[in-house]
Amino acid sequence: MRENYLYEKISNIFEKIDFTEKKIELMYLAAKEKIGFDNKYDNQVLTTLQRQLEGLRKKESLLLDTFLAQQISKELYDVKVLNLQNERISISNQINERKLNEPFSVLEQTKKVFLDASRAKKEFLAGDDFKKRNILENLCWNLSMKEKNIHKVSLKTRYDIMFKAPKKGDILTLLADSSWNPVVPCPARRFNLF
C-alpha cells in the first residue's frame, strides 16, 4: 500500500470530525453569551469573597495598630493573627477554586478541541511524519487496516462524540433519525455550546 493512499484514507476520518471555523466561532459566541447571562450568581459570589478578603486586610491592620498601642497582649495578638491568616487562606482557596471552575475557561478548552478537530485533516496531509504521528496520537486510540481499507477506528472520547454525531444540522432531521440519541446529542450540545 502506498503511503499517499494510506494518508488519504486516514485523513477521511478527520473529515468526519470537521466543523468549519465559522460554525465553531458562532457556537462559541452563542455559548459565551449564554454563560454571560447565567454567570451572574458566580460573579456575585466571587465579588463577595473578594470583599471578605479586603475586610480581612482591614482587620489585620486594626489588630496590628491595637497591638502596637499595647492595648492587647502578645498571646492574644498571636491567636488573632493566626485566625485571620487561616481565614485568608480559606477565602483565597475559594476564590482560586471559583476561577479555575469558571465556565469561560471550560468554554475556551472546548473551542480548542473543536478547532483541533477542524484543522486535523489539513495539518495531517501537510505535515511531516512526526506531525502526522503526533496528530494520530492526539486524536486516535486505535486504528486498524484490513484489505487496504480502514477496518476499525477508535477516536479519543471527545473526538468520538463528534465522529458519531449526525452531520445534518436541522432539528427535523435529528428527530426523524432513529439513531440519534438525545442523551448524547450533537457535540455542540454535549459541550454546552448551544
- Among the listed ranges 8-17, 50-59, 127-136, 163-172, which one has the minimum average pLDDT value? 163-172
Alpha carbons 165 and 108: distance in angstroms, whole number:
21
Give yes or no: residues 123 and 78 share one domain.
no
Give yes or no: residues 115 and 153 share one domain.
yes
> What pLDDT, on the 0 to 100 scale, is given for residue 168?
61
Three-state secondary structure call for residue 142: strand
Give yes or no: residues 76 and 157 share one domain.
no
Give yes or no: residues 108 and 169 share one domain.
yes
Give yes or no: residues 68 and 114 share one domain.
no
CB 106 within 8 A of CB 114: no
With b for 16 or more beta-carbon neighbours within 10 A and e for fewer, the 105-116 pattern comes to eebeebbebbeb
Res. 147: pLDDT tops 50: yes
Alpha carbons 5 and 10: distance in angstroms, whole number:
9
Q: How many domains does the chain have?
A: 2
pLDDT, tens digit, 9 for 90 and up, residues 39-93: 666 777 888 889 999 999 999 999 999 999 999 999 999 999 999 999 999 999 8
Alpha carbons 194 and 189: distance in angstroms, whole number:
6
Give yes or no: residues 185 and 115 share one domain.
yes
Burial of residue 52 (CB within 10 Å: 0-12, 13-18, 19+) is: middle
Identify residue 17 by its one-letter amino acid code.
Answer: I
Q: Does residue 10 or residue 61 have the better pLDDT?
A: 61
Which has the closest alpha carbon to 124: 136, 137, 141, 140? 136
Distance between first and last Cα of the chain: 43
Three-state secondary structure call for residue 190: helix
Give yes or no: residues 82 and 121 share one domain.
no
Give yes or no: residues 128 and 86 share one domain.
no
Give yes or no: residues 28 and 43 share one domain.
no
Give yes or no: residues 108 and 178 share one domain.
yes
Question: What is the domain range of residue 53?
Answer: 38-102
End residue of a domain, out of 102, 134, 155: 102
